[in-house]
Amino acid sequence: MPRITIMDIAREAGVSKTAVSLALNDKPGVSEGTRQRVREIAGRLEWRPHYAARALSSSSTGAFGLALARSAETLGAETFFMSLFAGIERRLAELDRALLLQLVDDVEHETALLGRWAGEQRVDGVILLDLRVDDPRIDALPRLGVPLAASAPEPLGRGISTLVTDERGRMRLLVEHLLERGHRRLTFLTGPGEFLHVAHRIMSFTTCVREADGLARIRETDYSVGAAEAVAREIAALPRAQRPTAVVVDNDLLAVRLMVALSRVGLDVPGDLAVAAMEDSLLCTLTDPPVTALGRDLSRHGAQLVDLLERGIGGAPEDSAADPSTIRERASTALTSEETTTGR
């Protein structure tokens, strides 16, 4: 006979798993009627609490913590974070866990805040995102005594479980797509170079383009509309023989902003130059022409991060490789005339 779970009781009582859990643990939040009905059903089905789950729940805060040193504007506009966040939230909901979330000014503020949360036992674990080059959190956080899980382009060590994204390999995919189409003068429009993933992407971009005897330029931006417009004007002002024939853009939002800015200064994509983005989203399919982009399942990435953290409770830290990306080829990198693609 299969084990009776609170799911079985919830189904029979016609209430949620949480309501059953509250009723059986004698906690507030359900009506007296529901409490009695749930207990009657639990008794009739001969339900017994799962000891391990019970032991876990008694010492658990029921929440993971996440502090983000990002502006609210970036958060609202960037589809990367939202897709990742959706995956994190879905997996947390399955585990009946909440997320304690706060936006902070900087990494120092984040370190202090996470210290407070850990000290007050408000979280069972912490998720780290947006790792920096020489990130101060890597030294400070392991001392907090709560499990840590990070998404980063290299294993972090120091007891931090890492979901490793191969940013160099991802960049290579996109650059080779452009090299195959004859491009040799390439520009990479990045976010702030202090981010570890941006640093990995810059290294890989430069290496790949130079291996093909191409000219690699890096242009750092803050992802804003203003930055996209400035870059479009800079490119338009160059003599044709010095212009990049292809631009790799760090994310989908900046790519879309660049597309709009390029059309305003009279540059044709892909006729005058090709554009490709490091993150795909609905946005990339809606521009004219649609933008070639690297696709990955960010929702799954978020869920894997939660699983890594969950396993870190009572277990050893571990590293895991994120799923590979695939290239989604669209019209923004289509072959046009011989002149454009050989960069003459």
- Residues that bind its own copies in the complex, under the rule CB under 8 A: 15-19, 22, 27-30, 63, 71-73, 75-77, 79, 82-83, 85-87, 89-90, 92-93, 97-106, 108-109, 111-119, 122, 144, 256, 282-283, 286-288, 299
Nearer to its own copies, 203 or 260 (CB): 260
Nearer to its own copies, 76 or 266 (CB): 76
How far apart CA 111 and CA 212 sit, in angstroms, is 42
Nearer to its own copies, 16 or 342 (CB): 16
Nearer to its own copies, 40 or 108 (CB): 108
Nearer to its own copies, 45 or 112 (CB): 112
Q: What are the tokens at 43?
A: 């008794």
How far apart CA 80 and CA 73 sit, in angstroms, is 13
Nearest-10 crossing angle of helices 17-24, 32-44: 90
CA distances from 67 to 112, 135, 194, 279 (A): 10, 15, 18, 23
Contact present, 100 and 127 (Cβ < 8 Å): no
Q: How far apart are CB 271 and its own copies at their closest, in Å?
A: 18
The candidate with the shortest Cα–Cα distance to 80, out of 299, 247, 308, is: 299
Q: How far apart are CB 132 and its own copies at their closest, in Å?
A: 15
Q: How far apart are CB 341 and its own copies at their closest, in Å?
A: 26
Q: How far apart are CB 247 and its own copies at their closest, in Å?
A: 19
Q: How far apart are CB 137 and its own copies at their closest, in Å?
A: 12
Q: How far apart are CB 115 and its own copies at their closest, in Å?
A: 2
Nearer to its own copies, 103 or 215 (CB): 103
Q: How far apart are CB 38 and its own copies at their closest, in Å?
A: 11
Nearer to its own copies, 97 or 184 (CB): 97
